[in-house]
A and B are shown apart, each in its own frame.
Chain A
């Protein structure tokens, strides 16, 4: 299960609307608990696939290095990633599976139709090894933030 607060959830959906008709992408920092992957921060990234951003995304490895360090400094982990599917359903493609390598992490996909975010779904990269990996649907639980 992916647990994320409403602000983070809306942020990643808005990101897909802002980059439409191109794919957006970003990372989810948080903690892995008995309940699942709990997101503490949604970090927007640039899509480096300028050759075909309408149906591809890629995150610069150097940006990933910075994200890894940011997570370390905050006592967090990279627990997942997100991207959008412009005018395409919120289901993983063979390209998404082939290019997914973070076992145990969530891959969140938002369908953006005519510039409006519609369905958002999450899939966990399951399997014990790279050769056995598969994307399985998982529940998204959104939480309201309450200021104390």
Chain B
């Protein structure tokens, strides 16, 4: 059983419309690399120029935010689900 990455509707223009994508790898980092290999145009949406995840990109392994696990080094196993969730914030005043 592969690992599945769930893509929000706002990013499906970069995945040929797919919301569920099967990837390979034994860590979150490897799974994301597999995802970006399949859908290279996603990279600039998710990553900075130096390859780090953009600050607004939340990555969940099943129910847990990987920031509170071992970050992208978190190990994964077949059947796990990775969910990408861009953040939501704002406010009426600047600064």
Contacts and interface: CB of A to CB of B under 8 A. Distances in A.
Given A32-B9, A130-B45, A131-B44, A102 B94 contact: no
Contact of B90 (A27, A56, A104, A128): A56
A65 B63 contact: yes
Contact of B88 (A58, A85, A130): A58
What's the interface size class on B, roughly? 20 to 34
A128 B13 contact: yes
B21 interface: no
Contact of B83 (A55, A65, A105, A129): A65
Contacts of A11: none
Contact of A102 (B60, B86, B93): B86
A35 interface: no
Contacts of B6: 68, 72
Contact of B58 (A49, A64, A83, A130): A64
Interface in B54-91: 54, 56, 58, 60, 63, 65, 83, 85-91
B9 A83 contact: no
B88 A25 contact: yes
A95 B95 CA distance: 7
B10 A103 contact: yes
B53 interface: no
A103 B92 contact: no
Contact of B44 (A23, A59, A130): A130
Nearest to B86: A101
A99 B45 contact: no
Contact of A104 (B13, B65, B88): B13
Given A83-B90, A102-B10, 14 more contacts: A64-B87, A65-B60, A65-B85, A68-B8, A81-B88, A95-B93, A99-B88, A99-B90, A101-B10, A101-B56, A101-B88, A102-B86, A103-B10, A131-B44
6 contacts: A59-B88, A62-B65, A83-B90, A101-B10, A128-B13, A130-B54
Interface of B: 6, 8-11, 13, 44-45, 54, 56, 58, 60, 63, 65, 83, 85-95
